[in-house]
Structure 1
Amino acid sequence: MAQVFVSIGSNTEREVYINRCLDALDAQFEKLALSPVFESEPVGFDGDNFYNLVASFNTELPVGELSKKLKMIEDDNGRCRTSPKFSGRTLDIDILTYDALIGVIDGVTLPRGEITENAFVLWPLAELAPKSRHPVLAETYQQLWLDYDKDKQPLHPVSFIWREKDLSA
């Protein structure tokens, strides 16, 4: 069983699509754990703010099959693949890490560069797995967040309930 961390984001009917995503992940994977939910401004385009969080779960699927499964969840929730890369979306799920794998595996770059680039990935990851270490940098996510320039991207926790579980920071 591999432990996987994924980032989840939505800026279209955010509560609806984040809830649907979490339901789908919970139905398909073992040991689902969730970070608090944060709100962020869009990066690379003008649009509505995003809700973002990080999830962890265990899977026996290889990286390529997991990527396809996550894309199916996106597609089942109205993800438009013909829109520009930087645009609004109902749901975005990205594999951040898969165990400690490093490199391009089945077309997926691991670990994902956004971990250290975007507050909306790093802060939730640091909340969910503070003592876990980045596979390349060997720093804990907590330390990476402490060192991150917080003025770079505005981000704040929001109140969010999923299945009567409070995902607020």
Structure 2
Amino acid sequence: MITTYIGIGSNISPEKNVKIAIDELHQLGEVTKVSTVYEAEPVGFSGHNFFNLVVELKVNHSLGELGALLRAIEIKWGREVNAKKNQDRTLDLDILLYGDLVSESDPKLPREDLFKFAFAILPMVELNPDLIIPSTQRTISEIWAEFPYSQSLKPALLNLTF
């Protein structure tokens, strides 16, 4: 099995859609860890706040299969097929890491979110602080310690039981 980390985001009915996303991930493999759900302001556009978290998931799917399955889940739960990057969304599922794979093609891995956004970095620190990010030789904790941006995050008041 491959250990992968999936970023989950929603700012349309986020309480419902975050729970749906985790339920759906249980169908794809073994959910081994779930971070705190954080509330964050949208980046790059004006809209409702997002709920964001990261799930550690062990899968037998290839990277291509996993990407297609995640996309199908997004669409199943109301994401527009032609959704733009910076807009409100019911569900956003991103592969942050797929084992130790480094890829410059789509999907680019490790995903750039792990260097750019607090809502991806902090949940990863919570799940696996000593994880060395492939191609960097730095742990996710080291990346967080050097993170220069001031993005406001606060734990969302959401009861997740699995």
Match of 1:79 in 2: 79
* Residues 50-89 of structure 1 aligned to structure 2 (within 5 Å): 50-89=50-89
Unaligned runs of 5+ residues in structure 2 are none
What letter corresponds to residue 13 of structure 1 in structure 2? S
Q: CA shift at 1:150, angstroms? A: 4.7
Quick check: 1:131 aligned with 2:154? no
- Which runs of no fewer than 5 residues in structure 1 stay unpaired? none
For this pair of structures, how many residues does the alignment match? 162
Q: Could you give the per-residue CA deviations for residues 106-131 of structure 1, whole angstroms, max 9, x where no partner exists? A: x3111101101001100111111111
The 1:99/1:83 distance shift into structure 2, 3 A limit, reads closer
The match for 1:19 is: 19
2:154 corresponding residue in structure 1: 156
Give me the CA root mean square deviation: 1.3
CA deviations 1:54-74 (Å, max 9, x no partner) are: 001111111010000001111
**Identity over aligned residues, as a percent?**
35
Question: Distance between the aligned counterparts of 1:144 and 1:84, measured in 2?
Answer: 28
TM norm structure 1:
0.91
The question of whether the paired residues in 1 share the 8 Å contact of 2:8 and 2:93 is answered with: yes
C-alpha distance in structure 2 between counterparts of 1:61 and 1:83, whole Å: 25
- Is 2:101–2:110's contact at 8 Å kept on the other side of the alignment? yes
